[in-house]
Structure 1
């Protein structure tokens, strides 16, 4: 078959060369088609793999989202929902952390699956606190062989910061008190032993503070601290640490009383109370106790006194507790609608006391009443 418009040479050798050239072009075209088919098959396989990854990720995201909604109902839902779910704050916080970890893992998996996706523009990173120690590490490049012996000229640098931590480590403080005797003189001279919170005890004041902050500020029970310290080969039983906390509490009682007195010196005090589950000795069960908080913060009103909060632990929520705590206080008391505070004001007025208290209501508690009326449909 002769292609239309194609002039065939009369020379046989030229005709053979033309046929060979056309055969090579056809073979090259078939090779390109085969490569394209392989790439299409690979692309289809990659699309199927990405769809499988996306399906798995969507299922996990849906599961985590449902868990998140349950947790949100425990915090923001109606009281009946919160009671049915029976999840405490520690469990909810742990679950929220697990959800965040799961979502981050899914995002990393999707990033690895996409592989060569275009990188997004870097977002400005919030700098770390200025008081943190900075340790600079300079990573020098390898000098190419053809640059050996030439003078280096610094024309710039890239700088990045990462957050690091030095885990706490145990150490032993060895205190030596030499004894001296003098020739020609009777007696021995030796320095007095330094004062300790736990007399003749094992812990330093720094260790006591670390255990107390971990337990009361960070919510780390003593039995967990016992297991953590054991990883460093330090055996401290929780019963022993409990005794140490008792000694520390006794020494800090004076400071707690001082803070409460300073709080009551203010013109206005914020008071509130909350339940605190407490282990009943010998029963293995918890009972309901109460933690009373009294705060003073005069900064919004032009005051220069530092903000402070005083806490008091009580076995009850009775009016005698607040009367005992606020003895000697005169001024404005901002509280919720609990009757113990109202009874305190009435009792002082009836007794003709010079220590007068004016109650200030809480807008947040008042707003709840309007919200209840709104959702019940009677706020028209």
Structure 2
């Protein structure tokens, strides 16, 4: 074979090798893309499984750590009871109550609970030898926790009539008191119980009707709804005044969640939204009381957020990164547009999900670094804004300043189409809002106050539709606002609603409505149960 022929063959083989290498590179790139897509699908599938079947929170409450032990404790209780019964048979029933039994841990019985005494006398107090009556030399006392099931009662009101027998004067009689349901069955306390059972304890009216039926009381859910609606009408001034207090707060939290509402005429449900507006200054020991106000809207547009905040004078709005809130930074107001403060909890949640699903070391490292910020916040919680700000400048600022370049470096080293890259870009795109807590000690690291307030809506959503129409959803929002605000202020909502309804029906002056605010109600945790 000639030299020219060998040279041509060599060139052909080189061209074929280059073509093969180019094709291999394309296949490798396609394989990498496919592998990244597979990983993303695995992450999405893992999130869907966890959303459907797993825990909804990224961390466990302390109580949840004890759940596996509860079954063991039940089994231990069965064993203890069996051993006690066997021991009683062996030593005789007269010795069943030993000193060891009496001194075991019985828990703490609150002093405010009423006590009912019963005295167990022997069958005879006469000496069996015939000496006569025996003398009492002491007694053993035991206290146990008892319960009377919640029961209804009939309140009978009598109004005697009086007349003078010596003259023809008029008949004298006390005026009949006004009621929420004129001439109806329920007292204000009964209506308050129905309201709190639904809007505080997430028990729909139809389930309440089943509970009451066990005591022989037949109340359909339409009746319970009518009672609640009448109370809602009378409590409207309270909710309006709560809104006025919120409007004056300098810093607010805001969030929204879906609410299924029946669509009349179609026989189907449509998606509405409940928006929660919260003022809670307990993190920095502020003087203002915590308040929750729910509002209903048929959609999630930021226009509804602007509508609900119309007339509010606050400067800071702590919210998630939903772009609907972005329009608030352009709203023309005398005090200037809203300043958005974003939530570290939402950012942390992204990396927690990724660390669970993919075991990403970068996501795990991000979670650890964010946890350091929360550790600093926990130590400063409850302190004045100046003390909190000083702690953040000294300890949180260096962490945040180091975290941003670390995010940027990791982003340059990973696939741009990965879920991890999306999460890092989320952090960098909202960095200004995430770091505003470093400039004001009144601001919080996250939006947990409003998330905690809105969480009961999710519980109620699992039990029943919110309303048969949008007006019903608005009424739900009003009653839920009052119940939730009572809880935040450590007030018994049943006692508050009952007494407030009574006061309003009796003609409480509208000019003194501030006296009926939940945070001014007497603390009832140990006085009125």
Query: TM-score under structure 1 normalisation?
Result: 0.62
Residues 281 and 359 of structure 1: is their aligned pair in 2 closer, same or farther, counting only changes over 3 Å? Answer: same
Offset, 1:301: 1.7
Alignment partner, residue 135 of structure 1: 116
Offset, 1:371: 2.7
Larger radius of gyration: 1
Aligned residue-pair number: 293
Give yes or no for the alignment of 1:234 onto 2:217: yes
SS of 1:209's partner is: helix
Alignment partner, residue 306 of structure 1: 289
1:36-51 aligned within 5 A: none
- Find the partner of 1:363 among 322, 329, 344: 344
Q: Which moved more, 1:133-142 or 1:297-306?
A: 133-142
Once the two structures are superposed, what CA deviation does each residue of 1:177-212 show, in whole Å capped at 9, x if it has no partner? Answer: 748699876977665442222233332212211211
Distance in 2 (alpha carbons) for counterparts of 1:298 and 1:127: 32
Give yes or no for the alignment of 1:80 onto 2:48: yes
Give yes or no for the alignment of 1:330 onto 2:314: yes
Give yes or no for the alignment of 1:273 onto 2:256: yes
Give yes or no for the alignment of 1:200 onto 2:200: no
Once the two structures are superposed, what CA deviation does each residue of 1:90-126 show, in whole Å capped at 9, x if it has no partner? Answer: xxxxxx9x99997776555555666759x99976443
Offset, 1:138: 3.9
Offset, 1:162: 1.4
Query: TM-score under structure 2 normalisation?
Result: 0.46
User: Relative contact order, CA 8 A, sep 6+: which one is greater?
Assistant: 2
Alignment partner, residue 9 of structure 1: none
Alignment partner, residue 321 of structure 1: 304
- Find the partner of 1:340 among 304, 314, 324: 324
Distance in 2 (alpha carbons) for counterparts of 1:87 and 1:299: 28
Give yes or no for the alignment of 1:354 onto 2:335: yes
Distance in 1 (alpha carbons) for counterparts of 2:132 and 2:294: 70
The answer (yes or no) to whether the contact 2:159–2:173 under 8 Å persists in 1 is no
Give yes or no for the alignment of 1:215 onto 2:198: yes
Offset, 1:326: 1.9
1:7-26 aligned within 5 A: none
Offset, 1:145: 2.7
Once the two structures are superposed, what CA deviation does each residue of 1:118-149 show, in whole Å capped at 9, x if it has no partner? Answer: x9997644313333223333444564635854
Q: Which moved more, 1:311-320 or 1:181-190?
A: 181-190
Give yes or no for the alignment of 1:263 onto 2:263: no
Distance in 2 (alpha carbons) for counterparts of 1:177 and 1:225: 36
Distance in 2 (alpha carbons) for counterparts of 1:373 and 1:177: 73
The answer (yes or no) to whether the contact 2:330–2:337 under 8 Å persists in 1 is no
Structure 1 residues without counterparts, runs of 5 or longer: 1-76, 89-95
Residues 111 and 278 of structure 1: is their aligned pair in 2 closer, same or farther, counting only changes over 3 Å? Answer: farther
SS of 1:289's partner is: strand
Alignment partner, residue 150 of structure 2: 167
Once the two structures are superposed, what CA deviation does each residue of 1:251-297 show, in whole Å capped at 9, x if it has no partner? Answer: 21221121122233233222222223334446554433322222222
Structure 2 residues without counterparts, runs of 5 or longer: 1-44, 57-63, 88-97, 363-409, 411-529
Structure with bigger helix share is: 2
Distance in 2 (alpha carbons) for counterparts of 1:232 and 1:282: 37
Offset, 1:79: 3.3
Residues 148 and 323 of structure 1: is their aligned pair in 2 closer, same or farther, counting only changes over 3 Å? Answer: farther
The answer (yes or no) to whether the contact 2:252–2:314 under 8 Å persists in 1 is no
Residues 104 and 361 of structure 1: is their aligned pair in 2 closer, same or farther, counting only changes over 3 Å? Answer: same
Residues 322 and 159 of structure 1: is their aligned pair in 2 closer, same or farther, counting only changes over 3 Å? Answer: same
Distance in 1 (alpha carbons) for counterparts of 2:46 and 2:334: 42
1:47-62 aligned within 5 A: none
Distance in 1 (alpha carbons) for counterparts of 2:276 and 2:308: 10
Distance in 2 (alpha carbons) for counterparts of 1:176 and 1:276: 47
